[in-house]
Homo-oligomer: A and B are copies of this chain.
Amino acid sequence: MASMNIKDIAKICGVGVSTVSRALNNHPDISPQTRERIMQAMKEHNYVPNNSARNLKRQDARTIAVLVKGINNPFFSSMIQVFEEEIQKKRYALVLQHVDEWQDEIDVAMELEKEKRLNGIVFLGGFFSHSEERLQKIPVPFVLSTIGILDQKHKSDYASVCVDDVAESYKMTDYLIQKGHQRIAILCSSTDDASIGALRLEGYRMALKEHGIPLREELVRHMHRDVDSYSMKTGYEQTRELLKEGVEFTAIYAISDSMAIGACRALIDAGKRVPEDISLAGFDGTEMAAYYHPAICTVRQPAEEMARATIKMLFDMLKKKSRVQQRIFEGTLVEGESVADNEPNPVSHAGMR
């Protein structure tokens, strides 16, 4: 007896298959006794319904999918936690799908939608552009969460939740400049990144410009394309190169906390102290940044709130309560312990107040 199916259970209980189906799905029109009897039989013969068959037939699976690009990104963990809670609260099922760096998330979404009869989709992270008309093809509501959108003119076509990466990155760079730093190295993503990486770099550029500090190309470190992006290792290697090339700088700004930690280790290994010799800043506001020693100065994205807003927005769309909209959250600069004042010249009044 390899594997029970609904017919077997029906036979065992001496009822029709539809009655079993009703018991399975808590349909109202079934007598409590038969219901109980059937459930009992299922337990005994440890029957497990076949989801493929269910999905094939069902109209509405009450399921929403979350597609995560970058499984290791610790920033997403806290958001996923909230997704689970919120979706469960609505009595929907959640299917969490990891998307590899090289995979096309839209392809994955299309396939999954067919397979699982999804009601909605959350895209978390990723989205390296060229997706315009393909996004239109997605037949269910979706929200882009924590995804940088470079293309400003089509931005309002999609529902999205994020921080203003340019503005937040500006904020951080500005802070470092206020602290007296002029030569700030930035560790960023690969040159072909058209997502948050590019936006954060842009914020850096703007802040420098605003303060009349010339942009030095040798201080802008792009990650190699093949490397595990936004990782500690990446930050480590970028910083090693920086040091090896003898580039002068008083601060490093990494566009993720993980990279910042990698950078910190590279500095320590090279005999530098943080922040006494070199100041260091990250981005995201992950738990790790706070636990690190020294605690990493970072821009905290309100991950939980953003996750909650993402789900709310998605369900508003499901219920037709709203069209696509954008929600932009404000980040918080967390000073940490990794940034010190720098005195560019004796006239500076840094640290006076």
CA distance A345 to B241 in the complex (A): 46
Find residues 96-142 in chain A having any chain B CB closer than 8 Å to their own CB.
96, 98, 100, 110-111, 114-116, 137, 139
Residue A243 lies at the interface, judged by CB distance under 8 Å to chain B: no
A84 touches B72 (CB 8 A): no
Residue A50 lies at the interface, judged by CB distance under 8 Å to chain B: yes
Chain B residue numbers with a CB within 8 Å of A100 are 84
Q: Which residue of B lies closest to A265 (CB)?
A: B291
A116 touches B293 (CB 8 A): no
Chain B residue numbers with a CB within 8 Å of A287 are 232-233
Residue A315 lies at the interface, judged by CB distance under 8 Å to chain B: no
A56 touches B48 (CB 8 A): no
Chain B residue numbers with a CB within 8 Å of A294 are 293
B52 touches A288 (CB 8 A): no
Specify the main secondary structure of chain A where it touches its partner.
helix
Chain B residue numbers with a CB within 8 Å of A290 are 265
Find residues 199-258 in chain A having any chain B CB closer than 8 Å to their own CB.
232-233, 236
CA distance A233 to B232 in the complex (A): 20
Chain B residue numbers with a CB within 8 Å of A52 are 51-53, 55-56, 114-116
Residue A25 lies at the interface, judged by CB distance under 8 Å to chain B: no
Find residues 278-317 in chain A having any chain B CB closer than 8 Å to their own CB.
287-288, 290-294
User: Apart from A50-B115, A264-B291, A292-B292, what are 9 other A-B pairs with CB-CB below 8 Å?
Assistant: A3-B139, A50-B56, A52-B114, A53-B56, A71-B77, A71-B80, A72-B77, A84-B100, A233-B287
- Selected A-B contacts with CB under 8 Å, 11 pairs: A46-B110, A48-B110, A49-B114, A52-B115, A71-B77, A72-B77, A74-B74, A233-B287, A261-B288, A292-B292, A292-B293
